Amino acid sequence: MDPLEIAVGLKERFADDVLHISNFRGQVGVYLKKPHLVEIARLLHDTPEYCLDYLKDLCGVDYMDIKMPRFEVVYHLYSMQHGHMLRLNVQVSEHSPDIDSVVDIWAGANWHERECYDMYGIVFNNHPDLRRILMPEDWEGHPQRKDYPTAGPEEEWRGFKEVERKAEEFKKYQWNRKKT
Amino acid sequence: MEQEKDLKTRELVINMGPQHPSTHGVLRLKLNVDGETVVKCTPYVGYLHRGTEKLAETMTYIQVIPLTDRLDYISSMTNNVGYCLAVERLFDINVPLRAKYIRTLVSELSRMSSHLLWLATHALDIGAMTVFLYAFREREGILDLFETLTGARLTVSYPRIGGVKRDVTQEFIDKTYAFAEDFPQRIQEYETLIDVNRIWLKRTLGVGAISAEDAINWGFSGATLRGCGVNYDVRKRFPYDAYDLVEFDVPVGKNGDVYDRYLCRVEELRQSTRIVKQCIEALPRGPIMAPDAPKFTLPAKDKVLGDMESLIHHFMLITKGPMTAPKGEIYVAIEAPKGELGFYIVSDGTGKPYRMRIRSPSFVHVSALPRLCEGRLLADVVANIGTIDVVLGECDR
């Protein structure tokens, strides 16, 4: 099935949710509002003609000062059976950075959503285990936001001081002493 | 008897990694075990997180290439190719045929080297030491070939946006062909060692089994998915470079266990050899860079020092990046040795990617480790880590 047909079908069915459809270099993207995301995702996954059973990728994008609302969560869907691909760009605002989780539909979304939360601070409702994943658990801030400095925060991470203290403490054991 | 009644068993927490030889890097697993059965498995990643995606946002399209080397450092060539393909698709560049063939050739060499390392370490983890020595011998051969071609053994940074850095030499062609001629016999050697080895079969048959539906639902890709019987290969589904011009088969497993994935990967070694040979035989003459490539490639050093225009061009490319970027977003995936490696690039029309997302196969596969390990024996954890073929540089990015 032509992905453009799926996109148009979605627009007819969810006229209030679908903002617009893009087609760039043969890749079709559907820009969505977030309220009925799970319903739409379930429909795309379960309908035999669509059968978008493979979640290739899920990630966040921060459009600070470029677009309103600020964030987008991007889903790349693929159908193993039919071989068509569709992208969903779901809008998430800065004031309520939360969105419904799709882990129940695609189990593979689990870690992608955790990463998105870690990097952008977008909370996924009903996620089974929403913790930080790449950054340490006590890290402050969300590194991939555009207003987060690339060089990192000025203050050293708390955990690093702890590591240094431990290293100092272990010096008394003289690990690297040469054997006599 | 009295005493035995009072004996109580309790769950034990074992911390495996981050410094553990069989975790292939810095993967940490927290394992709750009841006797020898794993009750709960919680992977912790991020020890190798270098913020590649964030860094890429501050660099021009050309400068990102060396960053991609450090993702899956076992096969940096395929990462470079994947990134270049994504940028080429964004800029709508047509790569000349010779460059396409060269890229296919080096990608397959890279796949062979990655699979050899996988076979070596996987077998070593399970207890077959000899295979390790055999496979490393051939891997050295491939790395030597890379050295002849690019000057580097691991972080090659050889492909460029619009083609490849330099043409292949006759020496490289001859050596590679000789290697490809010889390699099938070497594969047979590995197979004699473990194919019907009783210990190997005991440790792999039925271990880490997952159904095709589950594997798709979890987002598996590469040989890890094909072992479950799903015929999904990016090289066939979305042909890139010269993959639609060469002939090869995609091996597919049945049971989705560790043994079937082993069979798939070993067969892939054979198919890669086939592709390498075909690429050399069919290698056409012609340019190795796209005609509009000067917009994306740095001019030669001697030109920069003598020619004013080249100097300005060089300066602009380094400071601002290619200035013809269209606005849009693109997702391009390739079949990396580990699975589907995807690059999602959002362009805002400047010379730097506004957002570059790397969809790494290892990240997805590690996330499914609890699904594979829970309820199984502790010893199978090692086999499971080996079978999904993880590289933590790619997982943590």
Report residue B294's pLDDT band, with 50, 70 and 90 as the boundaries: low
Question: Which chain B residue has its CA at the smallest distance from A63's CA?
Answer: B354
The answer to whether the Cα torsion of B99, B104, B108, B114 is positive or negative is positive
Report the alpha-carbon distance of residue B23 to residue B390 in Å, rounded: 8
| Nearest-neighbour CA in chain A from B92: distance (Å) | 8
Predicted confidence (pLDDT) per residue in B173-232, tens digit: 999 999 999 999 989 888 888 888 888 888 888 888 888 888 999 989 988 999 888 889
Residue B341: phi, psi to the nearest 5? -105, 115
Residue type, A109: A
A120 to chain B: which residues are within 8 Å by CB?
none
| Nearest-neighbour CA in chain A from B359: distance (Å) | 6
State whether A80 and B396 contact (CB < 8 Å).
no
Amino acid A113: pLDDT: 92
Q: Which contiguous run of DSSP H or E holds residue A73? A: strand A71-78
For residue A55, what are its two tokens?
């979640």
| Nearest-neighbour CA in chain A from B394: distance (Å) | 12
Amino acid A175: pLDDT: 67
State whether A57 and B217 contact (CB < 8 Å).
no
For residue B15, what are its two tokens?
């911390």
Q: Over chain B, what HEC string results?
A: CHHHHHCCCCCEEEEECCCCHHHCCCCEEEEEEECCEEEEEEEECCCCCCCHHHHHCCCCCCCCHHHHHCCCCCCHHHHHHHHHHHHHHHHCCCCCHHHHHHHHHHHHHHHHHHHHHHHHHHHHHHCCHHHHHHHHHHHHHHHHHHHHHHCCCCCCCCEECCEECCCCCHHHHHHHHHHHHHHHHHHHHHHHHHCCCHHHHHHHCCCCCCCHHHHHHHCCCHHHHHCCCCCCCHHHHCCCCCCCCCCCCCCCCCCCCHHHHHHHHHHHHHHHHHHHHHHHHHCCCCCCECCCHHHCCCCCHHHHHHCHHHHHHHHHHHHCCCCCCCEEEEEEEEEECCEEEEEEEEEECCCCCCEEEEECHHHHHHHCHHHHHCCCEHHHHHHHHHHCCCCHHHHHC
In this structure, are residues A136 and A157 in contact, taking their beta carbons and an 8 Å threshold? Answer: yes
B340 to chain A: which residues are within 8 Å by CB?
56
Predicted confidence (pLDDT) per residue in A21-72, tens digit: 888 888 899 998 888 888 889 888 888 888 888 999 999 999 888 888 889 9
Q: Where are the domains of chain B?
A: 46-396
A–B: how many Cβ contacts below 8 A? 95
Predicted confidence (pLDDT) per residue in B257-289, tens digit: 888 999 999 999 999 999 999 999 998 988 888
Report the alpha-carbon distance of residue A63 to residue A65 in Å, rounded: 6
Say whether pLDDT at B9 is over 80.
Answer: no
Q: How many residues does chain A have?
A: 180
For residue A56, what are its two tokens?
């290739």
Predicted confidence (pLDDT) per residue in A128-171, tens digit: 888 889 888 888 889 998 888 888 888 888 888 888 888 888 88
DSSP-assigned letter for residue A180: -
Q: Which of A59, A115, A136 sits opposite B344 (nearest CB)?
A: A59
Question: Which chain B residue has its CA at the smallest distance from A134's CA?
Answer: B46
What is the domain class of B46-396 according to CATH? mainly alpha
Residue A98: phi, psi to the nearest 5? -140, 155
Report residue B4's pLDDT band, with 50, 70 and 90 as the boundaries: low
| Nearest-neighbour CA in chain B from A13: distance (Å) | 25
DSSP of A15-39: TTTEEEEEEETTEEEEEE-STTHHH
In this structure, are residues B204 and B258 in contact, taking their beta carbons and an 8 Å threshold? Answer: yes
State whether A106 and B219 contact (CB < 8 Å).
yes
Q: Which of B220, B346, B363 sits opposite A111 (nearest CB)?
A: B363
Report which listed range, A4-8, A11-15, B31-35, B104-108, is most confident. Answer: B104-108
Say whether pLDDT at B343 is over 90.
Answer: yes
Report the alpha-carbon distance of residue B299 to residue B162 in Å, rounded: 14
Predicted confidence (pLDDT) per residue in B111-135, tens digit: 999 999 999 998 888 888 888 889 9
Q: Where are the domains of chain A?
A: 3-153
State whether A134 and B46 contact (CB < 8 Å).
yes
Residue B76: phi, psi to the nearest 5? -65, -25
DSSP-assigned letter for residue A66: T
Report the alpha-carbon distance of residue A74 to residue A53 in Å, rounded: 16
* Residue found by looking up tokens 């012609």 in the block: B286
State whether B55 and A54 contact (CB < 8 Å).
no
Tell me the CA end-to-end span of chain B in Å, nearest whole number: 56
In this structure, are residues B235 and B273 in contact, taking their beta carbons and an 8 Å threshold? Answer: no
CATH of domain A3-153: 3.30.460.80
Amino acid B114: pLDDT: 92
In this structure, are residues B127 and B203 in contact, taking their beta carbons and an 8 Å threshold? Answer: yes
